[in-house]
Amino acid sequence: MDRDEAIHLAPAIYQRLVDKRCDVRVTFVDGELFVAEIDSQQDPDAVTDWRLTSDPELPHRRAELPENLITLIRGLMANLELRFGAIDFVRTPEGKYVFL
């Protein structure tokens, strides 16, 4: 961490860096899933975290999820008794989805 002093008083959980093909944002609304694939790897400012880019043209496109992942997301939302949620994943170069 290059700014460790800025966060030393804040509780945090760190996740291992994952190689990615793209980022995936899933928005869950009343049982429906809206999936956006974000081409974060084309912008140097977005390679690690797509939210850090200032590029308004960062490509986003509709995407589909594997059925088993859809089932898991719906189960999570049901167990948490949530009707809305935004869930982020990394899709690896091998096509694996990693929950963030």
pLDDT tens digits for range 11-66:
777 788 899 999 999 999 999 999 999 999 999 999 999 999 999 999 999 999 99
Residue type (1 letter), 61? R
In the chain, count H helices and then E strands.
2, 5
CA angle 43, 48, 53 (to 5 degrees): 45
For residue 15, what pLDDT is reported?
81
**Average pLDDT of the chain?**
92
pTM across the whole model: 0.84
For residue 24, what pLDDT is reported?
98
